[in-house]
Homo-oligomer: A and B are copies of this chain.
Amino acid sequence: MINTLFLPELREMLESGNSTELRDFCEALHPAATAEFMEGLTVDEAWRVLQEATRETRSEIFSFFDEARQIEILETQDREQVAQLIEDLAPDDRVDVLNEIEPQLSEQLIKLLPSDDRRETLRLQAYPEGTAGAVMTTEVIKLDESLTIRHALEQLQKQSNEVETIYYLYVVDELDHLRGVLSARDLISSLKSPEKTLRDLMETEPLTVDVHDDQEEVARKVAHYDLLAVPVVDDQHRFQGIITHDDIIDVVREEATEDAHRIAGVEPLDAGYLQTRISQLCWNRGVWLAPLFFAAMLTAKAMERFDERLSEPAWLWLFIPLVISAGGNSGNQSATLVITALTTGNVRISDWLTVVRRELLMGLLLGTLLAVVFLPTGWLVAPELNATNPMNLAVIPVTLLFVVCSGTIVGSILPLLFQRLGQDPALMSNPFVAGIVDILGILLYVMVAGWFLG
């Protein structure tokens, strides 16, 4: 749904070349709102509107455009003007968008940057996606520890428009080693003693993350400690940048979506669903669907192998999908519960024995539940169940009990195992669970039927 509230007015202003009104429009609202009102404009129109804004506002509004529009602007508009815009973006946003456009254009634009911005961009680009280094921004307030509170406040005033957050002051030595951190809150409550130095007040062992840390780990730390921003250091404890709360929210959301996709057997998308090319989407789904299909072929093979034992009595084959899906569903539940608990830190690998014990108990309870549901309803599907052999009635309930337990056990152990192996537990667990539990289901079914029906 595109917000069309101001579209006619915007188009009129563009047509009549009314610069003053266009500038007012750009400056009046929060840049995120301005970006939203411009959604209905073509890329050319949007770019012309942006030209009327101040450089600062222009880059701010631009950073709220969706990725597809950002890319299109960079790829179609005047090279010089675009380079200026790129220069004005926050360093982390700049790298994000440069990584999305055609590599050749990206190189050209980087060459047009002032030398310090260019160096910084190349440095940030070197960090692999998903690491703290790739998410951090470098526009922060760095001060010397000998500075007095009074002078620190002056610095804050001076720099407040250039940096991403003024809410922490970072104290570094001449080699850029991080010596301490002072929050703006502490600075303000210390204003009554303006001659104290930062050394007296700063926190000397602040929480830090390493440039190579996984962004998910960083998000967990920031969330756990309720921080506004966390400093990023290299292996020599040199201060490299900070990661702020808004980036953390994006990371949390991104990681949650990735987990959900992996759990459903979809390779996580780089862009939004609607922005992803059909061919890409097909690939990201096919790479999971095909192995799952092979697993189903193995299940079919197992059925063929036990053909005779599953077709006599004839009603046995009717319940194959029922048996398989009971295992799949309970396994899916267990895997998802364990994966989300691992992600939020509620469960750790060392809890594995507790988890497996709980899941075995759950399997027994849920298996019994399904068995109890089956007993009075099974004959609706296969009337011959109630006739002849009373042993008939026992086959499906007992199989359900076994299959649901195998689902909960496999579903809980696999994510723990993947986590233990240093892999994302969401990576392969559910598809793996499905494949393993399906075949297990057939084997258990054959076994139980053999017991009761000879």
Between A and B, 7 residue pairs with Cβ closer than 8 Å are A32-B225, A166-B188, A264-B332, A274-B354, A288-B333, A290-B370, A320-B320
- Using a CB-CB cutoff of 8 Å, which residues 204-257 of chain A contact chain B? 207, 219, 222-228, 245-246, 248-250, 252-253, 256-257
Copies of this chain, how many? 2
Chain A interface residue count, CB cutoff 8 Å, equals: 114
Q: Which residues of B contact A228 (CB under 8 A)?
A: 167, 228, 245
Sorted from nearest, which 4 A-B pairs have the closest CB atoms?
A256-B256, A264-B336, A272-B346, A273-B341
A43 at the interface (CB under 8 A from B): no
The answer to whether B365 touches A326, judged by C-beta atoms less than 8 angstroms apart, is: no
Contact flag A222-B249 (CB < 8 Å), given A192-B157, A333-B285, A337-B261: yes
- Any B CB within 8 A of the CB of A25: no
C-alpha gap A32/B245 in the complex (Å): 17
B residues in contact with A192, CB < 8 Å: 157
In the complex, the answer to whether B285 meets A299 with C-beta atoms within 8 Å is no
- Assembly CA distance A408 to B259 (angstroms): 20
Structural contact, B380 and A289, CB atoms closer than 8 A: no
Contact B330 A191 (CB under 8 A): no
Are A300 and B322 neighbours in the complex by a CB distance under 8 Å? yes
Q: Which of A264, A335, A341 has the most CB of B within 10 A?
A: A264
Known contacts A185-B160, A188-B166: A370-B253 contact under CB 8 Å: no
Indicate whether A391 reaches chain B with its CB closer than 8 angstroms: no
Q: Is A263 within 8 A of B265, CB to CB?
A: no
Q: Is A153 an interface residue (CB 8 A)?
A: yes
- With A296-B321, A296-B325, A366-B289 in contact, do A332 and B381 touch (Cβ < 8 Å)? no
The docked-state distance in angstroms from the alpha carbon of A329 to that of B320 is 17
The docked-state distance in angstroms from the alpha carbon of A188 to that of B31 is 21
Asked whether A30 and B207 contact (CB < 8 A) given A293-B326, A324-B321, A329-B265, the answer is yes
A336 B263 Cβ-Cβ under 8 A: yes
- Residues of chain A having any CB pair with chain B under 8 Å: 1, 30, 32-33, 153, 156-157, 160-161, 166-167, 184-185, 188-189, 191-192, 207, 219, 222-228, 245-246, 248-250, 252-253, 256-257, 259-261, 263-266, 269, 272-275, 278, 281-282, 285-286, 288-290, 292-294, 296-297, 299-301, 303-304, 307, 311, 314-315, 317-322, 324-326, 329-330, 332-333, 335-341, 343-344, 346-351, 354-355, 358, 361-362, 365-366, 369-370, 373-374, 377, 380-382, 434, 438
- From residue A407, how far is it (CB to closest CB) to chain B in Å? 10
Contacts of A250 in B (CB 8 A): 223
Contacts of A326 in B (CB 8 A): 289, 293, 296
Closest to A192 in B: B157
B321 close to A300 (CB less than 8 A): yes
Q: Given the complex of chains A and B, what is the CA–CA distance between A335 and B347 in angstroms?
A: 27
- Report yes or no: A365 in contact with B282, Cβ–Cβ below 8 A: yes
Given contact pairs A160-B189, A344-B272, A348-B1, A370 touches B330 in the complex (Cβ within 8 A) = no
| Contact in complex: A260, B336 (CB < 8 Å) | yes
